Structure 1
Amino acid sequence: MLRQIHSLPGWMAALFVTLLAVTGAMLSLHPLQAHLQSVQLAQGQATVAELAELAKQRYPGVEEIKRSADGIVSVYFSENNQVQRVQINPLTGAEIPEVHPSELFRWSKNMHRTLLMADTGRIVIGISALCTFILSISGALLVAKRAGGWRHFFHKAQGTQSQRLHVVVGRAALLGLLLSSSTGLYLSAGSLGLISEASEADPAFPDHFNDNTDNKAHATVPLGRFAALQSTDLRDLRSLVFPSANSANEPYFLMSNQGAGYVDASTGEMLTFEAHNTARKIYEWIYALHTGEGLWWLALVLGISALSVPALAITGVTLWWKRRKLRSEITDNSAPENAETLILVGSETGTTWKFANALHRSLRRAGQRVHTAPLDQLEQNYPSARHLLILTATYGEGSAPASAQSFLSKLREHTGLQSLRYAVLGFGDRQFPKFCQYAYEVDAALQEKGLQKLCPITTADRQSVQEFARWGQALTKAMPLDFTLEPVEDHRKTDTFTLIERIDYDDLTDAPSCVLRFQASALQQKKGGRRLPTLPHFEAGDLVAILPPETSIPRFYSLASSASDGFLEICVRRQKNGLCSRFLHTLKVGDTIKAFIQPNPHFRPEAGESPVILIGAGAGIGPLAGFIRHNVHRRPMHLYWGGRTQQSGFLYQEELNRYLKDHRLSELNTAFSRENEPSYVQDRIRANGDALRDLFSKGAQVLVCGGRDMARGVQEALDAVIAPLAMDTQTLITQGRYREDVY
């Protein structure tokens, strides 16, 4: 529901909200311009009496003095039967050249207030302000929910590039957008008469002047010594109206920040005064917060926040379209009452739907009648169904995703599912503390309901196509049904890379490893009249997706190099049934591959000087070696790595020894499982408990790369080591100090 609340006003008002934001950003420059044009006064530097005397001497026909919230002082005077206006320096009375608003500014102001459509435009503007407010509140709630609570609100954004940009820009602009929209909503309500607009103070005209229509008496006190004007600081002045030339004994009318009153033209005393009421003060305070008048720095903040709206609109619409497109790809969807197999999907951003679509097509090809729908659309009756397959993501801190908000409550009340056999595939990110928590809750609820499992629950880290494929193999055996799970294709554009160097490590096992270095093959850039190959941008820890021949399913490998190294480097262990690893191990220098880069920004050391603990096993050393290679500032880095044999299976041995000598690597701890005294990397961690606790007390962060079983053992070992510090790995994950890239 929260996502629908966020999406609906965004769609309804995207154009108007963007127009409102762009014109608001343009208007936000005016307070700064006025600030630079005006003479800034200190409190107590001058009084209204001094200014009035100065204006009267320099402009004998003065009728009124005004001071804007930005500090610009204007004098209106009569000359040759015409009213003239000049801007002056309030301390000297000298005229200041006036900067007139441009046509573009005036157009922007009218567009921002009424869309050039009078009252109809005011209504649209009010609705747009309301939509902006709703979008800001719902967006903040969505970010907090996805991050796992408000305390993680500003943690590094996860997801695709569009998702990260939408979150980062939205968070940065949140306070500004909330302030602009809430104050704009109040002002719109006032202009439309929905709330009463507070009027300015209107003091009663002094009674003893009512009948004095032709009094020519002269003032007994000089204007510059009027007590009422002397007691009013010039910074508080809004306007001072002089008596007319034909009735010099009429009182002066003074409007200040405190209120309004009439000043006796003979004695300079305040005759009547009325303070601004609370409603008026609130209105003026809200008006200043919205326009930035008198608060030029706030206007700039609001203007910068407003400029985020086009970016938010573009990324928001892009994300909505992708979610809708992925879901709409389901074809040949059988009716619920006719389906033999049910596929129910829990998705937040839409990515789970591409896996559901692949599963749907595979089962249809096998002759099954399949009904695929969101988890929330659980029906009461499925008379033909035999299997229930659930693919669901987890949102934030273990919550249900957008399309599964009511599933568990519906399931508890359901009475007709017990005959179904089910399987659950959970999608998530292991960097979140409650990885696939909702999938586990669904699995437990189905068991409690009495349904029988087809196969154990499976989890896929960051949309792993390999886990999806393994789950499909388990389904094939359990259903039983003769079908091949259709692969989830990735249609991103690939580049061609040529192998320029390979380093082989034959560790006397059936799973040798090698380090492969590639150069870009595509001619993408001109330099000095020649076309030279260039690498796409990437950093160590990012992923390269390689497409083996005769398949469109990429296999992902962690990068051991950055583009600045001039080559793309990976470390590959040959797997017995690994299609891609076996292909890579057959490559000769000069052979080419097709691949694309997938950024993996969460897996790299955070900036700073705190120690970094790198832990890996086997080919997982690749990105860790890349981090050390680029440690040019000699930040403390401690490597724990496990291999099989020291003599022929010590990956990166020469390079690591070189890094120890030049202090890019502070410490190297190795473990070998097929030596006379076998050990594993977690054994080294337990043995070095004291040293590790000292590093963690200094704010150390951990990066782990390798197999899932190794990563699980490392977590258990570290939990034991840091328990005396009242810490555990889940706490470190929450703090962003423990990151994994496991497979």
Structure 2
Amino acid sequence: MAVSSFLFILLASVTGIILAFEPIDHAALNYSGDQTQIPVTQLIDTLKSNYDEVLSVEIDEAGFVKASVLSMEGDSGDFYINPLTGKKVGEIEKQAEIFQFATSLHRSLFLKSTGRFFVGLASFLLFLISITGLILIIKRQQGIRAFFNRIIKDNFYSYYHIYLGRLSLIPIIIITLTGVYLSLQRFEISPDIVLTHDVDYTSITDTPQRNLAEFPALKNITIADVRYIEFPFSPDVEDPYKISLTDRELLVNQVTGEVISELSYPLVNMLSYYSTVLHTGRGSVIWAVILAAACFSILFFIYSGFKMTFMRRKGRIKNKFKAAQSEIVILVGSETGSTMSFASLFYKELLNKDIKVHLTQMDKYQQFPKMKQLVIFTSTYGDGDPPANATKFLNLLNTFKDIPQFEYSVVGFGSLAYPSYCKYAFDVDEALRASPVAKELLKVYTINNKSWEAFDQWVDQWGERLALKLEVPRDNTVTKPRKKPQKFEVIAKTYAQESPDNTFLVTVRPEKSIKFRSGDLLAIYPQKDTHERLYSIGKNLDGELLLSIKRHEFGLCSNYLNDIEVGASLNAVRVKNPEFHLKKNQNAILIATGTGIAPFLGMMADNENKKERILYWGAKNEASFALYENQISTALERGLLSKFVPVYSRLGKEKIYVQHLIASNHLAFSNALKNGTVLMICGSISMQKEVIAALQVICETYQLKSLSYYQQRGQIKMDCY
């Protein structure tokens, strides 16, 4: 539908933007002088005093008064007047050529009746697109109540497609419905009705005679209520004032001021009037600006819609091996194409290992005669529904039963901000577990917010089970391209050898000034032509970047940073991470394990307002604390940190982790969620999952809202790897 109406909607939007400036340009003349509350009797009296003959007066949507008058000495003709003085204030100018051109193109594409039909049809199609878009947003946001909740950012195009769609929905619906109605009117399917007054002129009397100010018919009527006044052609009592108001038409005796006849405008006339006003923005600069913004939004929807379509198609791969030849089959359920991008990387890496693998959509599940491993990558759409290319999978799974046994793995992609986080992945896993020929290789694995680190971790786990060494490149279509690296000077550091758990601190300063906040990331390039490594950063009291790093025996970047000397420079790029920023006026509970403490050290140092900051930190033993003891002790002394709660997993016989600490402090965490305290989590993916599970239990125990509710409000923030 969007494709078929693309050209007409494009032209209507562009010309709509141009025409939206016409009422703005008209209002800039300011001929009304904000005098629309003048009584209409005063206006009539002023005109009759200033001119020999007054034919008519028209008040346009902007409140400007146009008069048609005759005068033996002064101005005659049609022009704008000052309603207070009756004097001429401006000529009635012709429509500017650019607006004439845009109007003709907007209404009929220069094709007269044929063009008007297609423009009207395009308006109707755009209305249908708006309604279907509304339904899709409601489904994506998981209910109409969550319509205005925070949008989870998949990518730039889908995010702003939804964001602008919500903002411009009502204006676009108004534009389309009024456009359709005006088209019907031009084809006389819904024409205006001409009012015909039935007047008994023989019964009209000329008594009692009244002054204009005393006319009973015109009491309490101001210029703002009037559209048009037709003056009497003669002094005869049978020749009345014909006054068109916003909702009715009056015939008023010019001598007595009594109403001779009064007719209300029928519905079609009212619809015609307000459709014109709402469609064009006449009389309201604010509404004209809104209409222009809505037209700009439509242009963006056209572009982003095509862009997202091409992104989905770009993810399609021509398989090297046919389905019947392949021992490993990858099935993908993807709504926007991002899940397909991850699957494609995994597929290409298997091809690099000379493995016969086949990649296809979940709805194309069939009997794979040589399949030994089934890998499913799937997102969840809406409230636990399958994505568009996976709606038939569960039925197909039950169709093909007489097949050899195979092992399977399910990977779910989603966002913890949604209540039905990866629900469809769990539905698929449950269906496969019920199959007599399917055996679980790995438990269902979930990936939050397209986390590259979580995906890389799963690839390693899957490869280990099959004795495969898999390395998925980070420079790919999934991760965002970085800016050009710049130099950072190492100004202080410790060494891994000094710490019992091989962790160390590095403090760096950019050689060129850059803005950054605690919680941002630093992408470090240890050598030329090597892949980046991301580290969460804290900002210390001197405005320098603090990194906390664990050295791995074969870790390229961690060994590089451990070996680098003070005074040396390294190549890196600051990566904004606004989803993990903490506002200065917010209370917060900070949850970290190991080196995940780095951004929280910066957030403590930045706590100028001395808001409540409680740090829960997990490590192996007390010796691990020595690396951070000075900074944490100083923060506690200065009131920058309210409380420090460490937990050491190897201190006693029983291993205790940070999630156990959260569970034992359930009341404190329940109260924190209730009173708006922000919970921030930084550390490993496995820790994140355990902490989320503990928080979920607390929410259920205390009958709080779901975790997704708090994440939607920005009350739960995570940066895990």
Structure-1-length-normalised TM-score: 0.83
Look up the match of 1:133: 127
* SS at structure 2 position matched to 1:70: coil
* CA deviation profile, 1:136-159 (whole Å, cap 9, x unmatched): 334444444333333333333323
Following superposition, the deviation at residue 616 of structure 1 comes to 0.9
Look up the match of 1:495: 485
RMSD of aligned alpha carbons = 3.9
Look up the match of 2:350: 363
Look up the match of 2:336: 349
1:739 aligns with 2:717: yes
- Cα distance in 1 between the residues matched to 2:403 and 2:92: 76
Look up the match of 1:189: 184
Selected match of 2:522 from 515, 522, 544? 544
Look up the match of 1:122: 116
* 1:274 partner letter: L
Following superposition, the deviation at residue 554 of structure 1 comes to 3.8
Selected match of 1:639 from 608, 612, 615? 615
Look up the match of 1:272: 261
How many residues end up aligned between the 2 structures? 710
Selected match of 1:659 from 624, 628, 635? 635
Selected match of 1:41 from 30, 36, 54? 36
- Cα distance in 1 between the residues matched to 2:516 and 2:134: 31
Following superposition, the deviation at residue 702 of structure 1 comes to 0.6
Report the CA distance shift for 1:624/1:419 in structure 2 as closer, same or farther (over 3 A). same
Following superposition, the deviation at residue 699 of structure 1 comes to 1.9
* SS at structure 1 position matched to 2:184: helix
Following superposition, the deviation at residue 319 of structure 1 comes to 3.6
Look up the match of 2:54: 62
Q: Which residues of 2 match residues 523-562 of structure 1 at below 5 A?
A: 533-535=512-514, 538-549=516-527, 553-561=531-539
Following superposition, the deviation at residue 613 of structure 1 comes to 1.0
* 1:51 partner letter: L
- Cα distance in 1 between the residues matched to 2:490 and 2:78: 78
Look up the match of 2:154: 159
Q: Which residues of 2 match residues 277-676 of structure 1 at below 5 A?
A: 277-325=266-314, 327-328=315-316, 330-337=317-324, 339-379=326-366, 381-383=367-369, 385-415=371-401, 419-453=405-439, 455-456=441-442, 457-476=444-463, 484=470, 486-490=472-476, 492-493=481-482, 494-504=484-494, 511-520=501-510, 533-535=512-514, 538-549=516-527, 553-561=531-539, 567-576=544-553, 578-589=555-566, 591=568, 593-605=570-582, 607=583, 609-647=585-623, 649-675=625-651
Look up the match of 1:50: 42
Report the CA distance shift for 1:70/1:358 in structure 2 as closer, same or farther (over 3 A). same
Selected match of 1:178 from 173, 178, 182? 173
Selected match of 2:86 from 76, 93, 102? 93
User: Does 626-635 or 687-696 show the bigger shift?
Assistant: 687-696
- Cα distance in 2 between the residues matched to 1:382 and 1:410: 12
Report the CA distance shift for 1:572/1:473 in structure 2 as closer, same or farther (over 3 A). closer
- Cα distance in 1 between the residues matched to 2:328 and 2:23: 58
- Cα distance in 1 between the residues matched to 2:257 and 2:247: 18
* SS at structure 2 position matched to 1:628: helix
* 2:678 partner letter: Q
* 2:710 partner letter: L
- Cα distance in 1 between the residues matched to 2:706 and 2:50: 77
* SS at structure 2 position matched to 1:75: strand
* 1:56 partner letter: K
Identity between Structure 1 and Structure 2 (%) = 26
User: Does 333-342 or 609-618 show the bigger shift?
Assistant: 333-342
Following superposition, the deviation at residue 340 of structure 1 comes to 4.6
* CA deviation profile, 1:182-206 (whole Å, cap 9, x unmatched): 333332333345x413334333465
* SS at structure 1 position matched to 2:176: helix
Following superposition, the deviation at residue 612 of structure 1 comes to 1.1
- Cα distance in 2 between the residues matched to 1:80 and 1:451: 103
- Cα distance in 2 between the residues matched to 1:220 and 1:692: 83
* CA deviation profile, 1:644-693 (whole Å, cap 9, x unmatched): 34455344332333333443323222333455798644455456555555
* CA deviation profile, 1:335-370 (whole Å, cap 9, x unmatched): 445555432211122222222222332333444454
User: Does 353-362 or 548-557 show the bigger shift?
Assistant: 548-557
Instruction: State whether residues 23 and 112 of structure 1, in contact with CA within 8 Å, keep that contact through their aligned partners in structure 2.
Output: no
Instruction: State whether residues 10 and 135 of structure 1, in contact with CA within 8 Å, keep that contact through their aligned partners in structure 2.
Output: no
- Cα distance in 2 between the residues matched to 1:443 and 1:717: 23
Report the CA distance shift for 1:738/1:182 in structure 2 as closer, same or farther (over 3 A). same
Instruction: State whether residues 702 and 739 of structure 1, in contact with CA within 8 Å, keep that contact through their aligned partners in structure 2.
Output: yes
Report the CA distance shift for 1:405/1:552 in structure 2 as closer, same or farther (over 3 A). farther
Instruction: State whether residues 377 and 413 of structure 2, in contact with CA within 8 Å, keep that contact through their aligned partners in structure 1.
Output: yes
Look up the match of 1:524: none
* 2:620 partner letter: R
Structure-2-length-normalised TM-score: 0.85
* 2:523 partner letter: A
Following superposition, the deviation at residue 437 of structure 1 comes to 1.8
Following superposition, the deviation at residue 620 of structure 1 comes to 0.8
Selected match of 2:144 from 123, 127, 150? 150
- Cα distance in 2 between the residues matched to 1:28 and 1:621: 57
Report the CA distance shift for 1:335/1:695 in structure 2 as closer, same or farther (over 3 A). closer
Following superposition, the deviation at residue 295 of structure 1 comes to 4.5
Look up the match of 1:530: none
Following superposition, the deviation at residue 239 of structure 1 comes to 1.5
Report the CA distance shift for 1:660/1:196 in structure 2 as closer, same or farther (over 3 A). same
Report the CA distance shift for 1:388/1:514 in structure 2 as closer, same or farther (over 3 A). same
Look up the match of 1:526: none
| Structure 2 spans left out of the alignment, 5+ residues | none
* 2:197 partner letter: P
